[in-house]
Structure 1
């Protein structure tokens, strides 16, 4: 199986799941397309049947594939793909430039979730959560979003807001929103033009939450998302 930087450190079945997942998301394998038999496919990829089965199981759990007795394994319709799965988000951005509609959809989703979460966090946050956001912002300021450390801190900042909202179902979206933050930020950093420093907008969100000003926190988050979309060269009309 061909290796690339994205699969270093992964186990064989995880690496194969990533490889096939990227191929599906990029359109190399179309919905309804069937895969060959287990023996044939495992030999073609140069792996054991057990590893191949585990890879298919991963992709089935994420909604990309389905296996039925006698019908075999097929790519599912796009509507069944779990687009909020952190791995799928990573694979979407690893497959090359995601289409403009997908990026817009991510920001539209964040625009529905994060401003409301910031407003709730302003009323419900703990001092420890404020300290965690403050520390994350300091790392972002010091290391910059072009570094893995800076992007990890950015993800932590946004995830902490969801946790601070004090809503358990909302907090369960932290990993998905965090993955969206990480990959859109990295994509923005990879663009040819020098990206704008978004620290000021993050600081405004933090100040709104820390002072208990729900309206200020909500508006600051809306502004942060609007400017982030513009930074990617896309109109901000959907956020």
Structure 2
């Protein structure tokens, strides 16, 4: 059986919400190991006794980490068999944590293409609906997000957060609650593709014109133009990400 402890350390990690609890850190590192392919589908992970003794952590922390991964579809646990890595078809690829784990390693082209295909289906349609249904308050939220994004740039975490706020505001302006509920997935996709491009030095020189084009069309209540502008925005983001992937 491969040594699952080689895939990660249990050191504390700082996140936007502060330090994760130990089981969250274990789940994170195991999640990255699984999504990066270091643990293959069908592989049986170390049992909780072996794992806890090797890394000097409590068995309860490991069990909780496994429960987190199981809830996201990455593993399944069975009596007398152990914890097995599942096939990717069972993973919750819309979960923001799972997307983050993919991009913290080297995401496969299959996953990246699938994510952008999803965005291309959802976001242009959302932009068209937003153009027809947005309120003045929602429009002001979009404008404020773009102004912050322009001022702070995508080279900063705050600028990247403003980018996500803009995309979320567009989804909110559709007036469609099920569609708006996808904001966390779309936001995670925007966040981690931007992070990955930045890591590969492939951020666009000026992403603002295509974002303002979407905003201007929504402001003008021009649904067709809003749809086309968002298609251009998403297609350009895919092109930049594909270029970064090609260099690894």
Structure 2 length normalisation: TM-score? 0.89
Question: 2 CA distance for matches of 1:159 and 1:194?
Answer: 21
What does 1:69-80 align with in structure 2 at a 5 Å threshold? 69-80=79-90
Equivalent pair of 2:41/2:88 in contact (CA under 8 Å)? yes
Question: 1 CA distance for matches of 2:13 and 2:60?
Answer: 24
Given candidates 230, 239, 245, the residue that maps to 1:230 is 239
**2:11 partner SS:** coil
Deviates more, 1:120-129 or 1:37-46: 37-46
Q: 2:141 matched to which residue of 1? A: 132
Equivalent pair of 1:133/1:157 in contact (CA under 8 Å)? yes
Question: 2 CA distance for matches of 1:81 and 1:193?
Answer: 29
Deviation at 1:233?
Answer: 4.4
In the superposition, relative to structure 1, how do residues 132 and 12 fare at CA in structure 2: closer, same or farther (>3 Å)?
Answer: same
**2:221 partner SS:** coil
Deviation at 1:176?
Answer: 0.6
Question: 2 CA distance for matches of 1:164 and 1:145?
Answer: 23
Listed as ranges, the gaps of 5+ residues in structure 1 are: 235-239
Deviates more, 1:50-59 or 1:69-78: 69-78
Q: 2:6 matched to which residue of 1? A: none
Equivalent pair of 1:189/1:195 in contact (CA under 8 Å)? no
Question: 1 CA distance for matches of 2:10 and 2:97?
Answer: 19
User: Is 1:106 equivalent to 2:145 in the alignment?
Assistant: no
Q: 1:210 matched to which residue of 2? A: 219
Equivalent pair of 1:146/1:186 in contact (CA under 8 Å)? no
Question: 2 CA distance for matches of 1:180 and 1:6?
Answer: 21
Equivalent pair of 2:203/2:240 in contact (CA under 8 Å)? no
1:63-86 Cα offsets, whole Å, 9 max, x none, are 001112232211011100111110
Q: 2:58 matched to which residue of 1? A: 48
1:72-112 Cα offsets, whole Å, 9 max, x none, are 211011100111110111111112x2122322211111000
Structure 1 length normalisation: TM-score? 0.92
C-alpha RMSD of matched pairs (Å) = 1.8
Given candidates 35, 59, 69, the residue that maps to 2:69 is 59
Count, aligned residues:
234
Question: 2 CA distance for matches of 1:183 and 1:70?
Answer: 38
**1:28 partner SS:** coil
Deviates more, 1:128-137 or 1:98-107: 98-107
In the superposition, relative to structure 1, how do residues 11 and 111 fare at CA in structure 2: closer, same or farther (>3 Å)?
Answer: same
